[in-house]
Amino acid sequence: MIDLHCHILHGLDDGAETAAESLQMAHLFERTGYRMVAATPHMVPGTSWMPPIDRIKTRVTALNQTITDAGIELEIVPGMEIAIDPQIPDLLDDDRLLPLGNASCLLIEPAFQQLPPGWDKVIFAILAKGYSVLLAHPERCVQLAANPGLIDRLIGSGVYLQVNWGSFLGQYGRAVARTARLLAENGKIHCLATDSHRPDGHHPARIRAAAAELGGLIGRENLQRITTDNPLRVLNGEPPQPMTVSGAGTGRTKKRWWRLW
Ligand SMILES: [Fe+2]
């Protein structure tokens, strides 16, 4: 598997606090079955969380060396989790934002409640500059969770959706778990990621259990697509593919998608 969202680099945000914790997380990723991980420290324009690109790349190089020395089979690539903000187009022009794996897709974090005014213009400005957008954990955004039509319009505009494993595990409450499940049932997930911040928040056994359950819900082919194939496509600068939803299932689940909200 390939993870496109985690906070494994230490000392840059609310993720790993020490180099030892980063190494511990790398070990857990390997045990879970990951072979590649994008390190995505928070980038929140206008705050102290604005890590310079060079610092992220230097930390990634150092961590890869540590991981190799420890005999762990895992590769870290650089990235950022960028909070949606009107400054994003200017920051892009100034080369201060880092796409996932140095390719062409930006991991964009929506607000947890209401999206800020003008957020849609920011998304379109990013797309117009030739980047693609992977929207981090939309199931955790109250405004998006309450507006499935808005999610459909985002996907229709070319935005890709990244859902957290933890949402299926109930880590953020029942409402978020329900939204994640609905997104899965309706084939609206492009990538699954851990968004892990600490070694103690990432249990290989729990992810394997969630994978078994999710595989039963969406099928093994879709699970492979959103955990491995699509993340790799993103890192290669290719568009992730939508999940396949069976004909009968499409009709049945689409009704539920709209009726429940
Ligand atoms: Fe995150």
**Total tally of structural domains belonging to the chain:** 1
Q: What's the pLDDT band for 249 if we cut at 50, 70, 90?
A: very low
How far, in Å, is the centroid of ligand 1 from the Cα of 30? 19
Q: How many helices (H) and strands (E) does the chain have?
A: 12, 9
Q: How far, in Å, is the centroid of ligand 1 from the Cα of 141?
A: 13
Separation of alpha carbons 174 and 167, rounded Å: 9
**Structure token pair of residue 74:** 């895992």
Tell me the CA–centroid distance for residue 195 and ligand 1, in Å.
5
Give the distance (Å) from ligand 1 centre to CA of residue 118. Answer: 22
Residue 259: predicted pLDDT: 40
- Rounded CA separation 95/106 (Å): 13
Q: How far is the CA of 153 from the centre of ligand 1 (A)?
A: 23
In this predicted model, what pLDDT tens digit does every residue of 35-46 receive, in sequence order? Answer: 999 999 999 999
pLDDT at residue 256 tops 60: no
Distance 216 CA to ligand 1 centre (A): 27
pLDDT in tens, 168-192: 999 999 999 999 999 999 999 999 9
CA of 197 to the centre of ligand 1 (A): 7
Range of the domain at 224: 2-259
Cβ neighbours of residue 172 under 8 Å, at least 6 residues apart?
139, 140, 164, 166
Per-residue model confidence (pLDDT) at position 28: 95
Of the candidate ranges 52-61, 81-90, 243-252, the one whose mean pLDDT is the lowest: 243-252
Q: How far is the CA of 136 from the centre of ligand 1 (A)?
A: 7
- Taking the centre of ligand 1 as the mean of its atom positions, its distance from the CA of residue 259, in whole angstroms, is 30
For residue 260, what pLDDT is reported? 39
**C-alpha 251 – ligand 1 centre gap (Å):** 33
pLDDT top residue among 37 and 209: 37
pLDDT band at 246 (very low <50, low <70, confident <90, very high): confident
What strand order describes the sheet that includes 2-6?
A: 2-6, 36-39, 75-78
Which residue in this structure is represented by tokens 């030739």? 130
pLDDT at 253: 47
pLDDT at 257: 46
- What was the pLDDT predicted at 261? 31
* C-alpha of residue 253 to centroid of ligand 1, in Å: 29
Q: How far apart are CA 233 and CA 18, in angstroms?
A: 31
* C-alpha of residue 9 to centroid of ligand 1, in Å: 12
Distance from the CA of 37 to the center of ligand 1, in angstroms? 13
Interval 69-90 mean pLDDT: 98
Decide if pLDDT at 120 tops 80.
Answer: yes
39 and 76 in contact (C-beta within 8 Å)?
Answer: yes
Q: What is the pLDDT of residue 247?
A: 52
**In the prediction, which pLDDT does 204 show?**
85
Query: Domain with 123 in it: what CATH number?
Result: 3.20.20.140
Give the mean model confidence (pLDDT) for residues 100-106.
97
Q: How far is CA 40 from the centre of its chain?
A: 9
